[in-house]
Amino acid sequence: MAALAYNLGKREINHYFSVRSAKVLALVAVLLLAVCHLASRRYRGSDSCEYLLSSGRFLGEKVWQPHSCMMHKYKISEAKNCLVDKHIAFIGDSRIRQLFYSFVKIINPQFKEEGNKHENIPFEDKIASVKVDFLWHPEVNGSMKQCIKVWTEDSVAKPHVIVAGAATWSIKIHNGSNEALSQYKMNITSIAPLLEKLAKTSDVYWVLQDPVYEDLLSENRKMITNEKIDAYNEAAVSILNSSTRNSKSNVKVFSVSKLIAQETIMESLDGLHLPESSRETSAMILMNVYCNKILKPVDGSCCQPRPPLTLIQKLAACFFTLSIIGYLIFYIIHRNAHRKNKPCTDLESGEEKKNIINPSVSPLEVFLQSFCKLGLIMAYFYMCDRANLFMKENKFYTHSTFFIPIIYILVLGVFYNENTKETKVLNREQTDEWKGWMQLVILIYHISGASTFLPVYMHIRVLVAAYLFQTGYGHFSYFWVKGDFGIHRVCQVLFRLNFLVVVLCIVMDRPYQFYYFVPLVTVWFMVIYVTLALWPQIIQKKANGNCLWHFGLLLKLAFLLLCICFLAYSQGAFEKIFSLWPLSKCFELKGNVYEWWFRWRLDRYVVFHGMLFAFIYLALQKRQILSEGKGEPLFSSKISNFLLFISVVSFLTYSIWASSCKNKAECNELHPSVSVVQILAFILIRNIPGYARSVYSSFFAWFGKISLELFICQYHIWLAADTRGILVLIPGNPMLNIIVSTFIFVCVAHEISQITNDLAQIIIPKDNSSLLKRLACIAAFFCGLLILSSIQDKSRH
């Protein structure tokens, strides 16, 4: 009765809300959000530098998140590279001196805070040719004015960056009198034009005064109150902003330190000076303001302009525009002659059935329609991760942000369970389910920034290995059973794996290796194909007639293992192979193939393990050793119980080992050899009991069917800054933002999956002569792409 009610309720829901209606809702959401963000930028301004200097919040205790953009944490080498041949000057009181020390320590962490505090302090790195000076001017007076005035003279070398600020000494010396505030206003009024003149050639920042913690102030500082500090800050902002009549002031007000201090001043030792962590944050903000536009770090979106369109991107935009125009013309002309064949909705699953191209629908129409939709989707990709239309934020890991969503999706997955159509080991529904829940866990891992937590990282490495295990298992099984080594099968697989990535490489201006998983599965597919297709071709039908063929296949697999071991321990040979042109264009990242070698080596044995498992399983199945009937255990009761016990122990043992990892490099070294233990343990636990093999989670299986698209799309429309940050569609409400961005992201991934399937039927026909012509066109396309890419590379250098 409960099952009947469940099915009726599901039918009712799916009658009104299908995948198609979800996609329409996602499109409306994207349009509304784009309009809102455009209006917001027009009203509030689009300069992310202003947000970086004026607003933000803490993620946790010490991680500062600027409003709407991402802040890069600069390393020593990066800081020196940015500031080479530069002179930076800090002018002010003891608080500015603190900021000076924190800034210098980004360049040289060994620099010590010593010497007379009330004197000028120089710093110079002669190797990097970086000069940073602190000039002691605790009051805004004639002395500070004279120092600044000298730099305005044409004959004097000017600092590239000037950071100034002072007020607390004026409050202290004059006992917080109103006359001192009036004098401060007069002095800053006389200095403002000089700062404005300097700001035309240098970056000038005026640092507002941070609040104090009045309870901790000593008796001789009790007159420094937050009320007085606010009055001085208001005076400084008012005068600096009005120093230019007809345009915006070039002097940038550094007010974000006030927000930082409000959260951390309680940790101050004397109530006046900020704790070290707060000073480091302010110094890093200064570094981001100046260096982001020079070095353009991927995870430093603040103060970065939109990257200029490359020649290839412009050509891609023209192609998609022509596709949209072409489809509209085609549709208008043929709307009466051809009625569109609407895909029927499966009310049971809520999913549109796989599109089958109607003979009455022209392949050209399907082609133009697919690229029309893809063009609109790629526009969304570009808006999210290149156009600076939507906001981005840094990731921040906590255990709750990872484990709570995991528990939530597991509950959902268990709730949506159905009977499988067949009860074989690793049947289609089960592998889709496996890919689905693994993909959801990997997505949560990425968006939560859980890679910083080593036990989670090691378990996620097993999930990636399990995907590759399925690659070995699935493709070996197909070739072994079907014996289909035709070019059509190869082209179909390669197209489905690589189509989206090739488009993204063009639109997002990223190398092929950037989407590392697709090159990985592509290469392993070709390895499996070559291993089995080369003479002698050994398939199950042939081997059944003579057991020696099984031995021959094992020799092939042994030779493959030998080649894997050789390349794994011979980095030079591996790099020479993949550094050859044109392979180097596919597998190089940042000018070398090390990243590709590292990724390949990390899971080097698991595809082989998948092939070997498929061979053993199919051999046992052929000899009817396995019991794969509905509800039946895979083996006899004793053997099944024994294997289940061993599997559970092995599974838990691996988890305990992975959770006790202390060094990522050492654990990565062991991972290729031991990851198969947990994979095999999971397969046995999932398949030995008959009841477990007879059911599957339709929730996870649905996601499993689009797992590849989900993995690739997350780079730009769920995460941001090439996976380094999080896309923010709805600022100020992280929970709602995740819900909306996830909904759009899943709809886009599903649509791309359907587009890929439609185009695969057109571009990869079954007729060999037509297929060869298409392959010639594809080869010409990639040759043109290589030529254009080479031209682009030369123009960049």
Known catalytic residues are: 94, 270, 273
Listed residue (450, 472, 469) closest to 459, CA to CA: 450
Please, which residues have CB within 8 angstroms of residue 112's CB and are 6 or more apart in sequence? Answer: none
Q: Is 596 exposed, middle or buried (0-12, 13-18, 19+ CB in 10 A)?
A: buried
Please, which residues have CB within 8 angstroms of residue 84's CB and are 6 or more apart in sequence? Answer: 128, 129, 130
DSSP string, 650-709: HHHHHHHHHHT---HHHHHHHHHHHHHHHHHHHHHHHHSSHHHHTEEEHHHHHHHTTHHH
Tell whether the torsion through CA atoms of 13, 14, 16 and 19 is positive or negative: positive
- According to DSSP, the residues that pair with 204 across neighbouring strands are 162
> What phi and psi, each to the nearest 5 degrees, are found at residue 251?
-80, 120
> What phi and psi, each to the nearest 5 degrees, are found at residue 722?
55, 50
Rounded CA-CA distance 194/303 in Å is 25
Residue 31, token pair as written in the block: 């349009």
Residues 229, 171: contact at Cβ < 8 Å?
Answer: yes
Listed residue (206, 221, 219) closest to 273, CA to CA: 221
Please, which residues have CB within 8 angstroms of residue 760's CB and are 6 or more apart in sequence? Answer: 492, 495, 496, 499
> What phi and psi, each to the nearest 5 degrees, are found at residue 165?
165, 145
Please, which residues have CB within 8 angstroms of residue 472's CB and are 6 or more apart in sequence? Answer: 524, 528, 606, 607, 608, 609, 610, 611, 613, 614
428-448 helix and 399-415 helix, angle to the nearest 10 degrees = 160
Q: Are strands 345-346 and 695-697 parallel, antiparallel or unpaired?
A: unpaired
Rounded CA-CA distance 555/619 in Å is 16
Only one residue has tokens 């992201």, namely 745
Rounded CA-CA distance 620/625 in Å is 5
Residues 257, 210: contact at Cβ < 8 Å?
Answer: yes
Residues 107, 83: contact at Cβ < 8 Å?
Answer: yes
707-717 helix and 734-763 helix, angle to the nearest 10 degrees = 130
Other Cβ atoms closer than 10 A to 520? 21
CA distances (Å), 626 to each of 76, 496, 629, in order?
A: 61, 33, 9
178-198 helix and 142-152 helix, angle to the nearest 10 degrees = 10
Residues 101, 111: contact at Cβ < 8 Å?
Answer: yes
- Rg (Cα) of the chain, in Å, rounded? 32
Listed residue (184, 187, 228) closest to 209, CA to CA: 228
Tell whether the torsion through CA atoms of 227, 232, 234 and 235 is positive or negative: positive
> What phi and psi, each to the nearest 5 degrees, are found at residue 664?
-60, -40
Residues 741, 718: contact at Cβ < 8 Å?
Answer: yes
Rounded CA-CA distance 420/430 in Å is 8
Residue 656, token pair as written in the block: 């305990």
Residue 47, token pair as written in the block: 């300069």
